[in-house]
Amino acid sequence: MKKAKYMWQLREKTELPEEFSTILTNEQINPLLGQLLWHRGIQSKEAIEVFLRPTIENLYDPFLMHDMEKTVTRIQEAVAKGEKILVYGDYDADGITSTTVMKEAIELIGGEVEYFLPNRFIHGYGPNLAVFKEQIENGAQLIITVDNGVAGHEAINFATEQGIDVIVTDHHELPPELPNAFTIVHPKHPEGHYPFGDLAGVGVAFKVATALLGELPAEFLDLVAIGTIADLVSLTDENRVLVKMGLEMIQNGERIGLDILIHLAELKKEAISEESIGFTIAPRLNALGRLGDATPGVELMTTFDEEEAERIASYINSQNETRKEIVATITKEAFELIDSTEPIHIVAKQGWHEGVLGIVAGRIMQDTGKPTIVLTIDENNEIAKGSGRSVSALNLYDALNEIREDFSHFGGHHMAAGMTLPVVNIDKVKKHLANYLEVNQIDLSQGQELLLDESLKVEEATIPFIKQLKILAPFGTDNPVPNFLFEDVTVEQSRQIGADKSHLKFQLSQIGAKLDAIAFQMGNQIDELGQGTTNIVGQLSINEWNGNKKPQLMVTDFSVDGVQLFDLRGKSARQKEIPVANTLYIYFNANSQKLIDDPTSDQFLFSTITETVERIEKTNSQQVVFVDCPDDVDLLKQITQTAKIERVYMMGISQEEAYLNGTGTREQYAQLYKFVRQQEQVDVRYKLNVVAQHLKIQEKLLIFMIQVFFDLGFVTIENGVLRKVESPENHPLTESKVYQTRLKKIKTEEFLLYSDRETLQQWLWNEEEV
């Protein structure tokens, strides 16, 4: 059997109230979709109306936010006096869009605005004292932070002492003590009355812009959608309204720089969705800050010059390509440093680019299902800096916060953390996290939890149903794309696709119904499919090709019930990857140990059935690899069934190649016997090849024939020197135990090496004899 990568949690079906079912009928909503709406808290006619058809009337009054009126008055005053206003942003997509919104809003009322985005490698995150000093010296008279500021005590205190007002607009977690700013606009401010606390930084900036302009500035909604999606805030309530309307603005708007970026990213403007923003546009904007200066992001969003927009968008695209190359290189190197036996991965190396380590940590975590910390080490081998990503079972912030004193800098939340620490403390962090898991009895072996919305039959995955699923969009945090479970399906026509064959394409079949499926980055698992009963989890979409539309499942995970035999017979098959964890390599000939590629793996030379089973149980081996062929084929069956092994990898290497070489003909034995009688002695250690060529007998077969002669007393062998026995007793070849064993081995090899996989699998777990 194959376990699922994730720990599946299938929602229980709810018996929907009759009133709600009536609403679904009136709205022509599929009852299966009704279950999804109900579980997402959409449980009334009013809630469905807002969810399906949000309008600007569903947005909240910006003046409910703390200090909003005071903030607007101060900005208007600055504009009236011609003061020089500085917008201080952040280097990610939310910061870029926040800065753009605030800058353009103030310019619309005639303000003189400059902006500054800090460089993460020079200035770090948030208000920087040196930058504030420089900007004030250059004439800044009012500073407005966007997407940062609530933790910028030092820089804000300095500005205040210089008589410069600082307006903080932010959405990050509020610290116990707030900075001494002129005003703080924050949706979760304890003295505010704002009904929705999960706005992104750009959402807060948009609220200030709305209050400042006295009307909703619809032309900024495209920016709000980008920043909100990119920052992974909750896509519910007001954020859902902003993003839904923002996506429409992108499709119909005329922001030159954004249009060109969309074109260069090979997206269709009219089909822009939260997915294309999240996976294509946002990563390009984020790449700027990851590699250096994010200022070109604001330049792109604010320019009216098409030629300049082309230049900036091309630069952003190239930065994103560079970012992807760096991520790919570091990810490959990081995987090579991973110890699969450790419960938490912590990898560190000199020279890694610190701007992408969070991405790398996330990829490793997703692939292995284990919390991961990736660190880069400075050239002096003294300081390590990086990011961690966790799974739901482990609150990474709480775990590391217990040893905060071991870090130079540390911050984060449940699922992610950033840190700087002395290199000498890395081992201490490893030991602490391992101990934390043990003390708190946190089991990471089950993988991350994956919530499954519904169990469907293949026949239910129709185009009309999939189209109706789109009413749940835009998808994102707290409103995820639904995951569907398809149980007890048969997999057909599986094949590897992609230039490097890293993806899988196949069909799900169930009672005559078919469903196309694609599984990205699962190409190496093709042998897992098609054995036993398969259960598959994924997200439904419509695949359109040459005008034809078909339902398609984007596979997230799968499991296989029942026993599995993986065929690694033959040189090419032996190149396939074998899982290292909980795997025992079993070989029957001591010489076969050299055939095992991984010297660190658990290995066992067969002695008896009892001892082999004890070793399997002791090492908690969930799968075995039979490296070579035993003399008696039934040994494999006895080991597998006694130890209750459900996953077997069959290499079945035969160094003797008994089946191919056979036992030799009567003529060959006569020829060998004649040769032996003619020689006083032969040093078979060094002359074997010469003798084989002389007699025209294959070398491996010749070795066997000499062993038969030795067994029957026709020759003696001492220190590698073969001598004839002067008057040997006459024995038929079949009396030799070596010969008898060879016959058995030939039968074994014939069955093990030349039967098809299905025949072997049937035999291995059943009672049939060879």
> Who contacts 743 (Cβ-Cβ below 8 Å, separation ≥6)?
663
Going through 394-532 in order, the beta strands assigned E by DSSP cover: 409-412, 416-422, 449-452, 454-455, 484-497, 503-510, 513-519
Q: What is the pLDDT of residue 368?
A: 87
Q: What is the pLDDT of residue 357?
A: 96
d(CA 538, CA 481): 10
d(CA 84, CA 165): 12
Q: Is 648 helix (H, G, I), strand (E, B) or coil?
A: strand
Cis peptide before 474 (omega within 30 of 0): yes
Q: What is the dihedral of CA 308, 314, 316, 317, to 10 degrees?
A: 160
> Who contacts 123 (Cβ-Cβ below 8 Å, separation ≥6)?
130, 131
Architecture of 659-735 per CATH?
Orthogonal Bundle (1.10)
Residue with tokens 């807002």: 50
CATH 3.30.1460 correct for 565-655+750-764: no
8 A C-beta contact, residue 427 and residue 441: no
8 A C-beta contact, residue 673 and residue 730: no
In this structure, are strands 416-422 and 409-412 parallel, antiparallel, or unpaired?
A: antiparallel
At 407-463, the pLDDT tens digits run 998 887 788 888 999 999 999 999 999 999 999 998 887 778 899 999 999 999 999
d(CA 397, CA 413): 5
Q: How many CA atoms lie within 13 A of 47 on its CB side?
A: 15
Helix (H) / strand (E) containing 510: strand 503-510
The backbone region for 147, taken as left when phi is positive above 0, alpha when psi lies in -120 to 50, beta otherwise, is left
Is the model's pLDDT at 142 over the cut of 60? yes
Cα–Cα nearest to 104, from 12, 26, 217: 217
pLDDT category of residue 767 using cuts at 50, 70 and 90:
low
Type of residue numbered 591: N
Architecture of 344-439 per CATH?
Roll (3.10)
Q: Is 586 helix (H, G, I), strand (E, B) or coil?
A: strand
Helix (H) / strand (E) containing 551: strand 548-561
8 A C-beta contact, residue 536 and residue 558: yes
At 307-355, the pLDDT tens digits run 999 999 999 999 999 999 999 999 999 999 998 888 899 999 999 999 9
Which structure tokens are listed for 646?
């459900």
pLDDT above 90 as % of the chain: 84
User: Residue 417: beta bridge partners?
Assistant: 388, 412
Residue with tokens 């008696």: 632
d(CA 280, CA 286): 10
Give the fold, CATH level 3, of 450-564. Answer: OB fold (Dihydrolipoamide Acetyltransferase, E2P) (2.40.50)
DSSP 61: P
> Who contacts 534 (Cβ-Cβ below 8 Å, separation ≥6)?
488, 489, 490, 491, 508, 558, 559, 560, 561
d(CA 485, CA 751): 39
Cα angle 351, 353, 355; round to 5: 155
Which structure tokens are listed for 394?
């482990």
The boundaries of every CATH 3.90.1640.30 domain in the chain are 58-319
Mean pLDDT of 253-265: 96
CA distances from 438 to 398, 415, 442 (A): 15, 19, 7
At 50-86, the pLDDT tens digits run 999 999 999 999 999 999 999 999 999 999 999 999 9
8 A C-beta contact, residue 350 and residue 377: yes
Is the model's pLDDT at 738 over the cut of 70? yes
Give me Rg for the CA atoms of the chain: 35
Mean pLDDT of 581-604: 88
d(CA 380, CA 365): 28
Q: What is the pLDDT of residue 529?
A: 84
Q: What is the pLDDT of residue 547?
A: 82
Residue with tokens 């610290």: 175
Q: What is the pLDDT of residue 769?
A: 61
Rounded to the nearest integer, the mean pLDDT of the chain is 93
At 371-408, the pLDDT tens digits run 999 999 999 999 999 999 998 889 998 999 999 999 99
Task: Look at the alpha carbons of 639, 643, 648, 649 in this order and tell me if their dihedral is positive or negative.
Answer: negative
pLDDT category of residue 760 using cuts at 50, 70 and 90:
very high
How far is C-alpha 32 from the geometric centre of its chain's CA atoms?
A: 29
At 19-48, the pLDDT tens digits run 999 999 999 999 999 999 999 999 999 999
Backbone angles phi, psi at 686, to 5 degrees: -120, -20
d(CA 624, CA 596): 13
- pTM, rounded to two decimals: 0.83
Average the pLDDT over each of 33-37, 221-225, 520-524, 595-599 and give the range with the smallest value: 595-599
Is the model's pLDDT at 575 over the cut of 80? no
Residue with tokens 């005053």: 77
d(CA 248, CA 256): 16
Which CATH code for domain 58-319? 3.90.1640.30
Can you list the alpha helix ranges (DSSP code H) found in 292-382? Answer: 295-302, 306-337, 357-368
DSSP 218: G
Give the end-to-end CA distance of the chain in Å, rounded to a whole number: 24
> Who contacts 279 (Cβ-Cβ below 8 Å, separation ≥6)?
none
How far is C-alpha 678 from the geometric centre of its chain's CA atoms?
A: 70
Neighbour count for residue 571 (Cβ, 10 Å): 8
Q: What is the pLDDT of residue 521?
A: 87
d(CA 228, CA 476): 10
> Who contacts 669 (Cβ-Cβ below 8 Å, separation ≥6)?
705, 708, 733
In this structure, are strands 449-452 and 454-455 parallel, antiparallel, or unpaired?
A: unpaired
Q: What is the pLDDT of residue 435?
A: 94
Q: What is the dihedral of CA 729, 733, 738, 739, to 10 degrees?
A: 180
CA distances from 478 to 52, 223, 392, 572 (A): 16, 21, 14, 46
The boundaries of every CATH 3.40.50 domain in the chain are 565-655+750-764
d(CA 286, CA 267): 18
Q: What is the pLDDT of residue 770?
A: 57
Q: What is the pLDDT of residue 133?
A: 98
User: Max CA-CA distance within the chain?
Assistant: 124
Helix (H) / strand (E) containing 584: strand 583-587
User: Residue 565: beta bridge partners?
Assistant: 648
Q: Is 545 helix (H, G, I), strand (E, B) or coil?
A: strand
Cα–Cα nearest to 679, from 699, 661, 658, 706: 706
Q: What is the pLDDT of residue 534?
A: 94
Q: Is 553 helix (H, G, I), strand (E, B) or coil?
A: strand
